[in-house]
């Protein structure tokens, strides 16, 4: 009889990944945060509908990978997935089904929507002494936008899917599935607008700046928030681009001398310093004092601070929380000259 999965099982199993019971061998992966996952999959009718479909076995060679999946399939290796391969060999297959859809292609009639790690691991096991292992899959016909959402639900809970992978995936999806409408995409994916905006900004960063970081996969979109605000096509961006070339040269020399590379925070600090100092010199005037949040993100600048005329502040475009902005303004107000005795 063909195995089936209930609604809760398909969500917990197919989207959570490969977490089979331990039988004394193989290393179990840590389960994703179920609370956050439950919120994100709530109301996804497609997941419930797929849950009613039978699960059956496929040869991984019959499957391609959905191009909208953020995970870099070509970058998967045995070093990264060894424990999962061992679990699959031990249980003679993936315990939890991947999600797939039909393609109509004779050579690759199925496309993996979610579960690319399981697909890779089963394929590896088949090529390395276990040709009888097959891929357990739940198959349904879903459109591209739905496929993207289902893949995103799984990847959002994975620590090994980097911000840059998600960012680039979102940038393509925005144009391909959402007609360039960020609000529509945010609602469909149930992702905060500010988070989506940061990831899209990361995807838009020039390669010259990305190349300054020791490991692109480690880059945090959150850490780079202040850099995004300077990428305005003006003088500050040009100065950061010039600084990026200097930083690349420094990293190359340090690597050659087997010295520690500059870390991500040092890179961001150097870029911001170059943007502000160079911008000031290019304008030929004193810089306006900036107000920043506790994280160092500029949210306002002081236009005037005198005893006679008081304090004038201009708020800058920002994705920061209202409370963080108000805290920065309060600090400036407490130190304003008109309030000093």
**Could you read off the pLDDT tens digit of each residue along the chain, which spans 341 residues?**
344 343 334 444 444 443 333 333 333 333 444 444 444 444 344 554 555 567 889 999 999 999 988 888 988 999 999 999 999 999 999 988 899 999 999 999 999 999 999 999 999 999 999 999 999 999 988 899 989 998 898 888 777 788 999 999 999 999 999 999 999 999 999 999 999 999 999 999 999 999 999 999 889 999 999 999 888 888 889 999 999 999 999 999 999 989 999 999 999 999 999 988 644 444 445 566 778 887 777 888 888 888 888 888 888 777 777 888 888 888 888 888 877 76
Gap between the Cα atoms of 337 and 326, Å rounded:
19
Q: Are 63 and 119 contacting, i.e. CB atoms less than 8 angstroms apart?
A: yes
For residue 133, how many other CB atoms are within 10 A of its CB?
22
Strands 310-315 vs 298-306: parallel, antiparallel or unpaired = antiparallel
Tokens of 261: 């590379």
Q: Which distant-in-sequence residues (6+ apart) come within 8 Å of 140 by Cβ?
A: 46, 49, 50, 53, 99, 101
Count CA atoms within 13 Å of residue 188 on its CB side. 21
Gap between the Cα atoms of 100 and 10, Å rounded:
13
Angle of CA points 70, 74, 80, to nearest 5°: 90
Q: Where are the domains of the chain?
A: 7-160, 162-204, 216-283, 290-339
Residue with tokens 């008081």: 310
Global confidence as pTM: 0.66
For residue 69, how many other CB atoms are within 10 A of its CB?
24
Gap between the Cα atoms of 80 and 86, Å rounded:
12
Gap between the Cα atoms of 315 and 317, Å rounded:
7
What pLDDT score does 120 carry? 96
Count CA atoms within 13 Å of residue 26 on its CB side. 21
Q: Are 65 and 113 contacting, i.e. CB atoms less than 8 angstroms apart?
A: no
Gap between the Cα atoms of 17 and 294, Å rounded:
37
**Reduced to 3 DSSP states, what percent helix, strand and coil does the chain have, rounded to the nearest 5?**
50, 10, 35
Tokens of 292: 């920043």
Gap between the Cα atoms of 244 and 274, Å rounded:
9
Q: Which residues pair with 100 in a beta bridge?
A: 112, 139
Residue with tokens 């420094």: 250
Q: Is the CA virtual torsion 206, 211, 212, 218 positive or negative?
A: positive
Strands 310-315 vs 290-292: parallel, antiparallel or unpaired = unpaired
Sheet holding 63-65, edge to edge: 55-58, 135-139, 98-102, 110-114, 63-65
Closest alpha carbon to 116 in 102, 137, 132: 137
What pLDDT score does 50 carry? 55
């Amino acid at each position: 009889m063909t195995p089936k999965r209930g609604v809760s099982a398909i969500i917990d199993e197919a989207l959570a990944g490969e977490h089979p019971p331990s039988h004394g061998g193989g290393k179990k992966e840590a389960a994703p945060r179920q609370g956050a996952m439950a919120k994100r999959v709530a109301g996804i009718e497609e997941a419930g509908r797929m849950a009613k479909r039978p699960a059956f076995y496929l040869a991984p060679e019959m499957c391609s990978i959905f191009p909208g999946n953020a995970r870099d399939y070509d970058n998967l290796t045995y070093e990264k997935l060894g424990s999962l391969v061992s679990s699959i060999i031990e249980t003679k297959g993936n315990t939890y089904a991947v999600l797939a859809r039909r393609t109509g292609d004779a050579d690759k009639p199925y496309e993996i929507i979610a579960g690319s790690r399981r697909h890779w691991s089963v394929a590896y096991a088949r090529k390395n002494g276990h040709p009888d292992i097959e891929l357990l899959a739940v198959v349904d016909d879903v459109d591209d936008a739905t496929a993207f959402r289902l893949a995103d639900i799984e990847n959002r809970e994975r620590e090994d899917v980097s911000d840059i992978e998600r960012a680039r995936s979102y940038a393509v999806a925005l144009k391909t599935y959402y007609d360039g409408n960020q609000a529509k995409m945010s609602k469909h994916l149930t992702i905060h607008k500010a988070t989506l905006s940061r990831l899209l900004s990361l995807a838009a960063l020039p390669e010259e700046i990305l190349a300054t970081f020791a490991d692109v996969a480690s880059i945090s979109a959150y850490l780079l928030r202040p850099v995004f605000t300077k990428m305005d096509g003006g003088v500050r961006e040009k100065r950061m681009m010039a600084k990026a070339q200097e930083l690349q040269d420094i990293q190359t020399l340090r690597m050659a001398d087997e010295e520690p590379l500059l870390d991500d925070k040092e890179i961001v600090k150097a870029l911001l310093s170059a943007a502000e100092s160079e911008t000031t010199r290019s304008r030929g005037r004193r810089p306006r004092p900036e107000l920043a949040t506790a994280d160092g993100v500029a949210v306002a600048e002081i236009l005037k601070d005198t005893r006679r005329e008081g304090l004038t502040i201009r708020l800058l475009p920002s994705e920061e929380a209202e409370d963080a902005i108000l805290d920065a303004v309060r600090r400036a107000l407490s130190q304003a000259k008109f309030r000093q005795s």
